[in-house]
Amino acid sequence: MKFTIYQIKEIENINSKFLFRPWRIVNKIFSFDNYNNIYENDLNNWDVDETDDINMLEIIYSIFNGRHPEDYTGRSISVSDIVELNNKFYFCDSFGWKDITNFIK
């Protein structure tokens, strides 16, 4: 199952508005243009059994929040990051994941 991780661009005025902010704040000023695609891969590379999106997102969070793959150059996944999975976009919120596909397409 392919996935993509997006993180906020490293631009001072963008970071202060978006970085580590929950969806209830970000949704009022959200723009996908403020994000960079920083990593793409396939979960099959980690011998992960496919399940529903939320469980897959938790697996991605676990992999990229502590034991980064060698080819990963982003920071640990945190609040305000976005993961694309199964043609849907999920915002890493303060607690859990928020489907924001409609805000992007």
Give per-residue pLDDT as tens, 16-68. Answer: 667 888 999 888 888 899 899 999 998 887 777 777 899 999 999 998 987 88
Q: Report the candidate in 69, 72, 49 with the shortest Cα–Cα distance to residue 59.
A: 49
Q: Does the pLDDT at position 79 exceed 80? A: yes
| Residue 79 lies in domain | 2-104
More confident residue, 79 or 49: 79
Domain count of the chain?
Answer: 1
Which amino acid makes up residue 3? F
How far apart are the C-alpha atoms of 64 and 5, rounded to whole Å? 10
How far apart are the C-alpha atoms of 103 and 2, rounded to whole Å? 21
Q: What is the band of 15 on the pLDDT scale with cuts at 50, 70, 90? A: low
Task: Report how far apart, in Å, the C-alpha atoms of 99 and of each of 1, 21, 65, 69, 71 are.
Answer: 18, 16, 20, 25, 27
- Whole-model pTM? 0.90
Residue 86: both structure tokens together = 């199964």
Residue 89's pLDDT is what? 97
Q: Does the pLDDT at position 12 exceed 80? A: no
